[in-house]
Chains A and B, each alone.
Chain A
């Protein structure tokens, strides 16, 4: 929001330092045009009439007030739909409309009087502004109705008429402006016409662009939330759910249950609170160390032997953390389901990518027959790798063992 504020400071009329904390929001109800003046008044704690007058006076100064108003309209978000409805007296409404007309008149008048622009041009621009205001206002309305997909839809025939007449006004304004420039040479005129048409289209589509940008931000936030959730689910599956399953199997041996529970508790605490736990990238560690540790944990937990070979080495980044976690899950799967005592892990670090193979010579399985509710392969391996831009290849035949290949491009090191 700093941009329009800076703009205002330069243009004079409302050069009041805005408190940085509370966000400026345009009024949704009780507005004459875009709710800008009302929003500013709420924000600054002064009567709305003063703000409107300031904009009107600004309009007389070569149209600065109009420009400021437009920028506020674009950059200040509207109040949320559940904001309290504001009652407006008829008098205030009349004042507002009057000031609006006066402001517009002053703008056109100021331009028309100055020698640089003749009256027709100023009139054309004025008509264009009115049209643009109509379309923008309609866009605000439709945003409230939140018609999914259509930017200006959902308002019935009246809304369509308003939008069309707004567009027509913009087109007419541009046409007037162009008619006054007939005297120019053909090339200049064509150029001018193209530029004017582009400006017209830009003016009419501003609400649409804004919507696009805001929705994009909204969507990104939603995606980040889902990814976070998937990451947490994958971790809980690998650790807590696995341990709970082991505890159920060992239910008749209290000592073993105690050991498993203690170990899991320690691990979960580390993950939640330690500097290298959830949401923090640990102090850079070498891939070989972390992979060896994961292999050691699996060896201890499931009493199998994990033969791990690492060729080359590099420091871990977020993607490689995902590789190690996925590899660990693949080892756990092999330990639990393959029915053999040995698992081979091979990791190769190349300049562009890291590849890890986890192989057992056990039962193997048919990937199509894995029940839907088994999360190990789907979430902890596939999901994890894909979220971080990696790739998984699975080779398995019933009776001949399983090999999981994990491939992750390396983050470019800025040198």
Chain B
């Protein structure tokens, strides 16, 4: 069964490009619909019930975060993957905390994008190197940081830190696995756990980035 993908981006040219790229990759991905605005997107998602929504971060009327806020409570089984040209921390962290399962930049190759879509559809997280860097930064122990209220959520384990570092260095999951002598499945578990912490932790850095986008 192929993964059903819904595209949300306000540039129709870009949607057409991504659609062509994904169709060319392989038969596992099927683009079932697309939308150019927040309203269209929420309606389309409700109507088509796709597996994965490819979501542009920057759009009029609130952007990808707004789509997430309206669509996620209604359709919790739909998975969102954020896609953006911007690499600003507040954008990236904002969509992740709004519920996206991953973040990739628009410069990603078609094959990589295909892999990322399949990965999120299977319930795993997808971190671009930049996102891994932001998360490492947010969870860094620096002098004068706000006190930790919930160690379970506010701290990364050393292993998670290792995985994030290698992600930030541009390693693929398979390369990380062989570098750390663990299985790809374990790498995925670590990344998912980091994603959960990034979404739920109340660390000052994360809330600050998110609040810059008026999300918390």
Q: Does A357 contact B (CB under 8 A)?
A: yes
Closest residue of A by beta carbon distance from B131:
A309
Residues from chain B with a CB closer than 8 A to the CB of A351 are: 142-143
Query: Which one, B137, B140, B143, B170, contacts A359 given CB within 8 A?
Result: B170
Known A-B contacts A305-B107, A309-B130, A309-B132; the reply to A346 vs B137 at CB < 8 A is no
Determine the chain A residues whose CB is within 8 A of the CB of B165 once the complex forms. Answer: 346, 348
Is B168 engaged at the interface, CB distance under 8 Å to the other chain?
A: yes
B170 touches A348 (CB 8 A): no
Q: How far is the CA of A357 from the CA of B169 in the complex (A)?
A: 7
Question: Which residues on B sit within 8 Å (CB–CB) of A357?
Answer: 169
What 0/1 pattern do residues 394 to 405 of A give for CB contact below 8 A with B?
Answer: 000000000100
Q: How far is the CA of A351 from the CA of B145 in the complex (A)?
A: 14
By beta carbon, the residue of chain A nearest B109 is: A342
A344/B170 contact (C-beta < 8 A), A309-B130, A309-B132, A309-B133 known:
yes
Residue of B nearest to A355 (CB): B165
What does the 1/0 interface line of A368-405 toward B look like (CB < 8 Å)? 00000000000000000000000000000000000100
Which chain A residues in 271-327 approach chain B with CB under 8 Å? Answer: 305, 307, 309-312
Assess whether B140 is in contact with A344, with CB atoms less than 8 Å apart. Answer: no
Cα separation A346 to B136 with both chains bound (whole Å): 12
Question: Which of A305, A307, A312, A344 touches B137 (beta carbons < 8 Å)?
Answer: A312
Number of B interface residues at 8 Å Cβ cutoff, please give it: 15
Residue of B nearest to A357 (CB): B169
Task: Tell me whether A346 and B169 are in contact (CB under 8 A).
Answer: yes
Closest to B170 in A: A344
Chain B nearest Cβ from A333, distance in angstroms: 16
In terms of DSSP, what is the predominant structure of the interface of chain A? strand
Contact of A344 among B107, B129, B136, B143 (CB under 8 A): B129
The size of the chain A interface, using a CB distance under 8 A, is 13
Question: Across the interface, which residues of A come within 8 angstroms of B137, CB to CB?
Answer: 311-312
Contact digits for A341-375, partner B, Cβ 8 Å, 1 yes 0 no: 00010101001000001010000000000000000
**Contact assessment for B107 and A359 in the assembled complex, using a CB-CB cutoff below 8 Å:** no
B168-191 contacts to A, CB under 8 A, are 168-171
* Most B CB within 10 A of own CB, among A305, A307, A309, A346: A309
A312, B145: Cα distance in complex, Å: 13
Q: Which residues of B contact A307 (CB under 8 A)?
A: 129-130, 170
A344 partner residues in chain B, CB cutoff 8 A: 129, 169-170
Q: Which residues of A contact B136 (CB under 8 A)?
A: 311, 348
Closest chain-B Cβ to A192's Cβ sits at a distance in Å of: 58
> Is the CB–CB distance between A359 and B169 below 8 Å?
yes
Q: How far is the CA of A39 from the CA of B137 in the complex (A)?
A: 67
Instruction: Write the B139-167 contact mask toward A (1 if CB under 8 angstroms, else 0).
Output: 01011000000000000000000000100
Nearest CB to that of B105 among chain A residues? A307
Q: Report the minimal beta-carbon distance from B81 to chain A, rounded to whole angstroms.
A: 18
CB distance from B204 to the nearest CB of A (A): 16
A201 to B134, CA, bound (A): 66
Q: When the two chains form their complex, are residues B140 and A346 in contact, meaning their CB atoms are under 8 A apart?
A: no
- CB of A324 to closest CB in B, whole Å: 17
Complex Cα gap A305–B130 (Å): 14
Closest to B139 in A: A311
Please, which residues of chain B bring their CB within 8 A of the CB of A311?
A: 133, 136-137, 140, 168
Other A-B pairs beyond A309-B129, A344-B169, A351-B142, 18, CB < 8 Å: A305-B107, A307-B129, A307-B130, A307-B170, A309-B130, A309-B132, A309-B133, A309-B168, A309-B169, A311-B136, A311-B137, A312-B137, A344-B129, A346-B133, A346-B168, A346-B169, A359-B169, A359-B171
What would 15 A/B residue contacts be, using CB atoms closer than 8 Å? A307-B170, A311-B133, A311-B140, A312-B140, A312-B142, A344-B129, A344-B169, A346-B169, A346-B170, A348-B136, A348-B165, A348-B168, A351-B142, A359-B170, A359-B171
* Interface residue ranges, B against A (CB under 8 Å): 107, 129-130, 132-133, 136-137, 140, 142-143, 165, 168-171
